Chains A and B, each alone.
Chain A
């Protein structure tokens, strides 16, 4: 009951935020001087065609009315035509989204495992050299932008050491697996093509790690400080006094409550990863939604820009809800407080 109330409350709030975001995006996409109907029809179309089109696109109506039409179309999955590809933006995005999602997924796994792992190691060896090393590394991780990591990894792993391939999702000449989910590694496994899986996996390591570095550092810092805080609490001393093995104290009683701040930041970071992918996809020539978005931005392809931002915004908001639910699961206090209302 309480959980249900919590979820409903969260969902209503998200819908409000989403509507607000759609308004911002709509304003952005209509702010440019210029005539969308003329652009859509082409420069050499006769005036009456443009006039008809303008009526069809509801451009003669007042802005709020235009917004309602735009929103209705967007909800139905019609984001308009892209000026560059001359196709429906929704179709373009649907095709490119899995590539970015796969990248973010691998980055997310790296964030969770490496970030929490490093943080836990750091806390366990608090104030010794291993701890200090992790702290220095995580400081560097936080302040270095993802595109700098991308360049460093490209240089070191790709060119100098030659361990990992440098560009794209697959080695040229290799047939991509048949599209089931759009995630190459998953599709390759589903169709039993191990060599394609291995190749795709190698391609994804550097860009995913470059994306994840900042967040790994952040997770390590947060996990460390949460564990260090809880380490001094009475219940830990009580458990130790009772003779509970140190491993059990660490893993069952210390790690779980310490993961609460980590989980909430992790979710936000995962969603933000999709937007940081803008920079990394560019360097690794990764055919994802971000590279598409950048091209749209540089060519002022307004429908495509609005579509990309809307999709990424929705991902961000959905991730936020999931995070809140995970945190509520981990921390009963939050669940109760929110359900009762502030």
Chain B
């Protein structure tokens, strides 16, 4: 029987590792092929990459980096879009394009930090509740999750943000406090299914520890749905963050939060339409980008449960 796979029996450990690496490369190549054949996914990837680059290099790529703070230039205030100011200038003469690009920084920070705060506890609780399916652990965790999911996310985030000092960090905290249940619910469903699969049961029979079963057997099988959900959630978290700063509970002026800029600009509609419109469109573009990217990843992993 051992002659079924000659390469495997004949190869030295080193050659075997080589082979493994090659097959992984091949998998990546196949994934990229599939991903890149959906033009929408590629558009999403390019959009996200552009926004991330712009945000990282904001001080170097924007024409007036000093306009990102408390800067005034009343001579050039209220200018409509032109070659010098592609998105126009606001009521105190700051370049709206520059501020929008700096606004991406706050939006991306929001998304990254919230997901970093939310995913580990959410996933852990989901693993526990799913593994101890039908016991009091399951009941406790999932009832609490139900309560958080029973309220529209924006309301809860607004409520939490409103009792704290309004700033970027607290708005991230508020969004995080209402976002973890989504990951708990996702991982819960996956784990409850997987605990009855043969690989889990056989690990149990061999006397593997709980820790091993949860983190080495079950968790790796949840990774691709989790990542797909994260890429889709980036857009939604950014949107909620923008909503919070729109009502004044997020990034505070003179810092250029996108939502803050829209809210301030909305006061000067319709005459100075560009002050509100361009940051608003920037929010749409960033959310759209992450959604297209996330949809592409979802098709790739065939993760239908999200």
Question: Do residues B270 and A144 form an inter-chain contact, with CB atoms below 8 A?
Answer: no
- A interface list, Cβ under 8 A from B: 13, 16-17, 20-21, 24-25, 28-29, 31-32, 139-140, 142-145, 147-148, 151-152, 154-155, 158-160, 271-272, 274-276, 278-279, 282-283, 293-294, 296-298, 300, 302, 305, 309, 312-313, 316-317, 320
Specify the chain B residue showing the minimal Cβ separation from A294: B247
B162 in contact (CB, < 8 A): yes
Could you list 5 A-B pairs, sorted by A, with CB under 8 Å? A17-B146, A28-B160, A139-B288, A147-B246, A297-B162
Q: Given the complex of chains A and B, what is the CA–CA distance between A129 and B156 in angstroms? A: 41
Q: A24 and B147: CB pair below 8 A? A: yes
Q: Which residue of B lies closest to A148 (CB)?
A: B280
Residues of B within 8 A of A293 (CB): 158
- Mask for B161-175, Cβ within 8 A of A = 1, else 0? 111000000000000
Within 8 Å by CB of B163, from A28, A154, A317, lies A28
Residues of B near A309 (CB, < 8 A) are 151, 155-156, 159
Given contacts A151-B262, A159-B270, 8 further A-B contacts (CB under 8 A): A25-B159, A139-B288, A140-B284, A143-B235, A283-B266, A300-B162, A305-B162, A313-B150
B143 at the interface (CB under 8 A from A): yes
Knowing A28-B163, A143-B288 are in contact, say whether A312-B152 is a contact too (CB < 8 A). Answer: yes
From residue B286, how far is it (CB to closest CB) to chain A in Å?
9
Contact across chains for A305 and B247 when beta carbons are under 8 A apart: no
In the complex, number of A-B residue pairs with CB atoms less than 8 Å apart: 128
**How far apart are the CA atoms of A151 and B276 in the complex, in Å?**
8
Which residues on the B side are within 8 Å of A276 (C-beta)? 152, 154
Chain B interface residues toward A at CB < 8 A: 143-144, 146-148, 150-152, 154-156, 158-163, 235, 239, 242-243, 246-249, 262-263, 266, 269-270, 273, 276-277, 280-281, 283-284, 287-288, 291
A278 touching B146, Cβ below 8 Å: no
Q: Is the interface of B mostly helix, strand, loop or mixed?
A: helix
Q: Would you call the interface of chain A mostly helix, strand, loop, or mixed?
A: helix
Interchain CB contact under 8 A, A316 and B291: no
**CA separation between A283 and B276, bound complex, in Å?**
12
Query: In the assembled complex, how far is the CB of residue A338 from the closest CB belonging to chain B, in whole angstroms?
Result: 15
Contact pick for B248, options A13, A21, A298, CB 8 Å: A298
Please state if A151 and B280 are interface contacts (CB–CB under 8 Å): yes
Q: How far is the CA of A29 from the CA of B239 in the complex (A)?
A: 26
How far apart sit A152 and B269, CA to CA, in the bound complex (Å)? 10
A177 to chain B, nearest CB (A): 29
Q: Give chain A nearest CB distance to B38 CB in angstroms.
A: 13
Q: How many angstroms from the CA of A148 to the CA of B159 in the assembled complex?
A: 22
B163 cross-chain contacts in A, Cβ below 8 A: 28-29, 31-32, 300, 302, 305
